[in-house]
Amino acid sequence: MVTSTIGRVAKALIAPALALGATVGLASAPASAAVWSTCDQWGNTSLNGYTLYNNIWGSGAGSQCVWANSGTNWGVHADHPNTGGIKSYPNAKKVINKPITSLTSLTSAYNVTVPASGAYNTSYDIWDTDYDYEIMLWVNKTGPVGPLGTSQGNVTLGGHTWTVYKGNNGANEVFSFIRTSNSSSGTVNILPILKWIKDTKGWFGNETIGDVQFGYEITSSSGGLDFTTNNLTVSGS
pLDDT recorded at residue 20: 34
Report the run of H or E that residue 219 belongs to, with start and end: strand 208-220
Burial class (CB in 10 A: 0-12, 13-18, 19+), 171: middle
Q: What is the pLDDT of residues 107-128, one digit of tens each?
A: 999 999 999 999 999 999 999 9
Mean pLDDT in residue range 167-183: 97
Whether the per-residue pLDDT at 22 is higher than 70: the answer is: no
Does any domain span residue 184? yes
Does any domain span residue 233? no
pLDDT recorded at residue 218: 98
Q: Is 55 helix (H, G, I), strand (E, B) or coil?
A: coil
Does any domain span residue 21? yes
Does any domain span residue 17? yes
Sign (positive/negative) of CA torsion 111, 207, 17, 41? negative
pLDDT band at 12 (very low <50, low <70, confident <90, very high): low
136 backbone φψ class: left, alpha, beta (φ>0; ψ -120 to 50): beta
Does any domain span residue 236? no
Sign (positive/negative) of CA torsion 222, 223, 229, 230? negative
pLDDT recorded at residue 35: 96
Numbers of helices and strands, H then E, in the chain: 2, 15
pLDDT band at 88 (very low <50, low <70, confident <90, very high): very high
pLDDT recorded at residue 17: 36
Say what the pTM is: 0.89
For residues 22 and 225, the model is more confident at 225
Is residue 1 a contact partner of residue 118, using CB atoms and an 8 Å limit? no
pLDDT recorded at residue 30: 52
Is residue 232 a contact partner of residue 108, using CB atoms and an 8 Å limit? yes
Does any domain span residue 123? yes
pLDDT band at 32 (very low <50, low <70, confident <90, very high): low
Torsion angle (degrees, nearest 10) of CA 219, 181, 215, 1: -20
pLDDT band at 79 (very low <50, low <70, confident <90, very high): very high
Does any domain span residue 230? no
Whether the per-residue pLDDT at 13 is higher than 60: the answer is: no
Please tell me the distance from the alpha carbon of residue 186 to that of residue 171, in angstroms, as a whole number: 31
- CATH code of the domain covering residue 30: 2.60.120.180
Q: What is the pLDDT of residues 191-210, one digit of tens each?
A: 999 999 999 999 999 999 99
Query: pLDDT averaged over the chain?
Result: 90
Residue type, 90: P
Whether the per-residue pLDDT at 67 is higher than 90: the answer is: yes
Segments forming the whole domain that contains residue 65: 6-225
The domain total for the chain is 1
Does any domain span residue 237? no
End-to-end CA distance of the chain: 37
Is residue 230 a contact partner of residue 120, using CB atoms and an 8 Å limit? no
